[in-house]
Amino acid sequence: MKKSVMLVMACVVIFSCGVKAQQFNVATYNMRNDNNKDDSIAGNGWKQRFPVIASLIAFHDFDIFGTQECLHHQLEDVKGSLSGYDYIGVGRDDGQTKGEYSAIFYKTTKFKLLKKGDFWMSAITDRPNKGWDAVLPRICSWGEFKEIKTGFTFYFFNLHMDHIGVVARAESAKLILAKIKEMTGNKPVILTGDFNVDQTSESYAVLHNSGVLEDAYETTAIRYALNGTFNSFKPDSKTDSRIDHIFLTKQFKVSRYGILTDSYRSKRPEGATPEANANFPKEVRMSKYIAREPSDHFPVMATVEYRK
């Protein structure tokens, strides 16, 4: 009898280990296009920002993440500054390298790319064009990935909706849902992007209330979100609007969600000015610098769990 009980207990332990939840970090990050005005007018140039962005990604340990607005050379800068990442995606202007991408970065030691593709947010999805009332071509890039260690497979979609076209955003939400249903069957899906609509929008509701996808912000166990996701390069700004989102199918459980408001400092044009304060320990040296954001959007990260 005693041996039988011990055998049952051993089986329970083995079974429990076998179904232990796995996890990885998902993110979305609009990194702001390389715009000469950012550098010449406000001092927020890409060459100054991208080393900060790369350090942020490495420190927060993004495993797979969607990007928005990056031009080809920006993606190469990010890839060259990170170890062990590759990306997929094409430029929205010609389907090759021209124009902004909605690229997906992933750790090559963690994930194997099985399939990839791109489609335009339009009634004509297979080539560059502007859909509905959009003022720019808008693209969605996608990949099917397999986690190398476990064999877990999932789809990852990443997009950037139009910033002006109200109809375009509504129709794009319907289009992405239709594409997910058509392409993925019942496989797990992650959708990230700059949707250019916040949590009060009807276009947002199309996705979050679809019965297919849910907003990670709403389902997370732990939430760290003290601001919205757009900052306009203004460190002192505050908004409740979340226009950058991570949506997931029900196969995923979100254990942590964060809007990462990391900032950095740069020297003033006139140089650093030492600060004196009687409350400082004598060993402390402080100077007045300019507080800056790595992009005009904050990155959003979620730690997701799943069972193989």
Decide if 184 is inside a domain: yes
Mean pLDDT of 137-144: 98
* CA 46 to centroid of chain Cα atoms: 18
Q: How much is the pTM? A: 0.92
106 closest CA partner among 58, 66, 49? 66
- What is the band of 268 on the pLDDT scale with cuts at 50, 70, 90? confident
Q: Cβ contacts of residue 44 below 8 Å, gap of 6+? A: 32, 38, 233, 292, 293, 296
Decide if 40 is inside a domain: yes
The first and second tokens of residue 237, run together, are 């700004």
Question: How do 253-259 and 222-224 pair as beta strands?
Answer: parallel
Decide if 46 is inside a domain: yes
Q: Cβ contacts of residue 136 below 8 Å, gap of 6+? A: 92, 130, 162, 163
pLDDT tops 80 at residue 144: yes
Decide if 78 is inside a domain: yes
Angle at 126 between CA 123 and CA 129, to 5 degrees: 60
- What is the band of 127 on the pLDDT scale with cuts at 50, 70, 90? very high
Rounded Cα distance, 22 and 77, in Å = 31
The CATH number that applies at residue 242 is 3.60.10.10
Q: Cβ contacts of residue 65 below 8 Å, gap of 6+? A: 26, 27, 28, 29, 57, 104, 105, 106, 192, 299, 301
Q: Cβ contacts of residue 204 below 8 Å, gap of 6+? A: 173, 195, 197, 198, 215, 245
The domain of 26 spans 22-306
- What is the total count of domains within the chain? 1
Decide if 2 is inside a domain: no
Decide if 16 is inside a domain: no
Rounded Cα distance, 203 and 224, in Å = 24
Decide if 5 is inside a domain: no
Res 19: pLDDT = 56
Res 12: pLDDT = 45
The first and second tokens of residue 148, run together, are 């190398």
pLDDT tops 90 at residue 46: yes
Answer with the residue of higher pLDDT: 101 or 275: 101
Burial (Cβ within 10 Å: 0-12, 13-18, ≥19) of residue 162: buried
Mean pLDDT of 299-303: 98
Decide if 15 is inside a domain: no
